[in-house]
Amino acid sequence: MVIANLSCGGTVSRALTNKHSRKWAFSSSHSREFRGFLARGTRNVEVVVGRCSLSLDNTRGFLSSSIFRHRKPIFSRFDSRLRGVQSYNFEESSVIEEESLPENLSLLNELNGTVSSGINESNSTLTEVPASTSQSKEAIDELIMLSLPALAGQAIEPLVQLMETAFIGRLGSVELASAGVSISLFNIISKLFNIPLLSVATSFVAEDVSKNARRLSAADEEEGAHGKSFILATERLQLSSVSTALLLAAGIGIFEAMALSLGSGQLLSLMGISRASSMRAPAQQFLFLRAIGAPAFVVSLALQGIFRGFKDTKTPVYCLGFGNFTSIFLFPLLIYYCQLGVSGAAISTVISQYIVAFAMIWCLSKRVVLLPPKLGNLQFGGYLKSGGFLIGRTLAVLLTLTLGTSMAARQGPVAMAAHQICVQVWLAVSLLTDALGTSAQALVASYISKDDYRTVKDVTHFVLKIGFVAGVSLAVILGVSFSSLAPLFTKDVEVLRVVKTGVLFVSASQPMNALAFIFDGLHYGVSDFPYAAHSMMLVGAISSAYLLWAPTVFGLPGVWSGLTLFMGLRMMAGIIRLMSKDGPWWFLHGDVNKAKVSF
């Protein structure tokens, strides 16, 4: 008897993965049918590469009758909803019974030749792996399915902030300007640690999930090899990357709340808002109230990164939608009906932030253990190392944007109010394309951990093309409609006149903004945190130097041109990195066809 086994540790051919167990038995009386199957096999059986090996066991001669060799491999995959592990069991037995060893060897040689010829004929599948393979198509489809909910999630908060700006703008230009300065300060302190935590959590959780799935798959196969049945446990996953992110978020949030509340006066003075300014009192009150929501804001951002690591962009959308809908309801109630003014806007936002945070924690607790049984399992070292680079990067971004706000505030309340409207629209629309970057980050991190460079290359090319098209489309839409949208935010004639001069800044920079955000996601996906930090520091230094000079000569247009320069340099830094053959993107320029077949 000769036993031939076909084993695959990755993606399974459709010929094997139906719902029913199959047994293939071949005897001497069916040798013709078996040879016919071999002749058709290379045409009818799909060959898929994914850590897959073809092996032919040593020939063995037996004098006894038919002997079946059963094995029970377990093939695991991620469930798109629960992101757990599901197992599909099937029994496979291949028995070839012959009466003489020479005939067995002849049959085995024919099998070996057929498989080899099939591999040669399917060379483009095994060694060339074109971009049109099913793996790349699945990755691109997954990118689209991840981006659509992420797009909604990215759009919710900026749109709510626009509504907040519109409600405050109807109170007057002084209130709008004071809220704009306070929001800028809140973003500096809160996002200094939040954005690095979100980005690092996405990559670390995606890698942790992928490694955990491979460990479970290996354990399942070992159980099957010993003839033991495997039943998937319904227990929640224990991922140290998740617990680390949550603990860091809680600690950072408390620190930020104390810094914003206790140092609000000093921070406003640094922004150029003196004690004699009409903007001082409402700005300080607004900032103090927003500080209360800092812990919830930090935790919710970390949770968004965790869900992205699970490739789940839907759950954050539901939680963000529920929480922000509450703030939309509270804005007019507290601002106008309760006559709280800008304080009512701040209270509404804080309430919505805590609703979002608690909703996400509740959803996540159903999947994973939030706190690890041992503190030694936490990944503080990895987070601090990678996050340290991104803190420097985020600091460069926030200081540049804040410098622009400070230079605009020095132009007076009217200029500051106009700047606040333009910047809110600019960022809100730009962040829509950031959904592509965050989705690409999760996919790139997942496939990089599997050394699947071909798929990463295809995803990279696809997301950059879509990002450029989206940026151009947004530029055209804003160029046509921005002037008519401005009256929604204020009725002040002077403010509207200044806002209309910012149409070019808001619209023309969108293609650069789109590509800059996508490059950020790609850098994080390959854990290229040092370059992301160092390049951003250089870009921020150049842009800040320009911002210190241009507004003194050109006024508010100098601020906007400086921010446009900032985004353009960010885009160029991303292009330079991807064009480099020595960095983590080497596979974009070399041969990535590394499929191996072992016999």
Per-residue model confidence (pLDDT) at position 73: 42
Which residue type does 37 have? Answer: F
- Between CA 94 and CA 2 the distance in angstroms is 9
Q: Please name which of 438, 451, 338, 404 lies closest in space to residue 556, comparing C-alpha atoms.
A: 404
pLDDT in tens, 415-428: 888 898 888 888 77
Given a contact cutoff of 8 angstroms between Cβ atoms, the answer to whether 136 and 454 are in contact is yes
Residue 3 structure tokens? 């036993």
Residue for token pair 């804005």: 331
Q: How many CB atoms lie within 10 A of CB 427?
A: 18
- What one-character-per-residue DSSP string does 449-484 give? TTT-HHHHHHHHHHHHHHHHHHHHHHHHHHHHHHHH
b/e code 299-314 from CB counts within 10 Å (16+ = b): bbbbbbbbbbbbbbbb
From residue 341, alpha-carbon distances to 167, 284, 323 in Å are 9, 13, 21
Residue for token pair 């991104």: 390
Stated as kind and residue range, the H or E segment containing 544 is helix 529-554
pLDDT in tens, 175-198: 888 888 888 888 777 777 776 777
pLDDT band at 571 (very low <50, low <70, confident <90, very high): very high
Given a contact cutoff of 8 angstroms between Cβ atoms, the answer to whether 208 and 241 are in contact is yes
Residue for token pair 């996050």: 387
Per-residue model confidence (pLDDT) at position 46: 38
For 7, counting Cβ atoms within 10 Å of its Cβ (0-12 exposed, 13-18 middle, 19+ buried), the class is middle
- Between CA 3 and CA 581 the distance in angstroms is 47
pLDDT in tens, 372-411: 666 666 766 766 776 677 778 888 888 898 899 889 888 8
pLDDT in tens, 525-557: 888 888 988 999 999 999 999 999 999 899 899
Indicate the SS3 state at residue 319: helix
Q: What is the bridge-based pairing of β-strands 24-26 and 94-96? A: parallel
Q: Please name which of 186, 233, 226, 201 lies closest in space to residue 84, comparing C-alpha atoms.
A: 233
Residue 368 or 329, more confident: 329
pTM listed for this prediction: 0.59
pLDDT in tens, 71-125: 444 434 434 333 333 333 433 333 334 344 445 545 445 545 544 454 444 444 4
Tell me the Ramachandran region of residue 522: left when phi exceeds 0, alpha when psi lies from -120 to 50, beta otherwise.
alpha
Per-residue model confidence (pLDDT) at position 386: 66
Domain residue extents for the chain:
24-128, 134-588
pLDDT in tens, 239-293: 777 888 888 888 888 988 998 888 888 888 888 788 888 888 889 999 999 999 9
Q: Please name which of 501, 492, 477 lies closest in space to residue 408, comparing C-alpha atoms.
A: 501
Helices (H), 226-313: 240-262, 264-270, 280-292, 294-309
Q: How many CB atoms lie within 10 A of CB 373?
A: 9
Per-residue model confidence (pLDDT) at position 37: 43
**Mean per-residue pLDDT over the chain, rounded:** 73
CA-based R_g, the chain, Å: 29
Number of H helices, E strands in the chain: 19, 4
- Between CA 194 and CA 249 the distance in angstroms is 8
Per-residue model confidence (pLDDT) at position 65: 39
User: Is the pLDDT confidence value at 62 over 90?
Assistant: no
Q: Please name which of 432, 571, 559 lies closest in space to residue 505, comparing C-alpha atoms.
A: 559
- Between CA 261 and CA 288 the distance in angstroms is 5
User: Is the pLDDT confidence value at 472 over 90?
Assistant: yes
- Between CA 247 and CA 596 the distance in angstroms is 42
- Mean pLDDT, residues 324-330 taken together: 91
Beta carbons within 8 Å of 468's beta carbon, 6+ residues apart? 511, 514, 515
In the chain, the percentage of residues whose pLDDT exceeds 70 is 67
Residue for token pair 């990357």: 241
Per-residue model confidence (pLDDT) at position 215: 64
- Mean pLDDT, residues 149-164 taken together: 78
Residue 39 or 513, more confident: 513
Per-residue model confidence (pLDDT) at position 16: 38
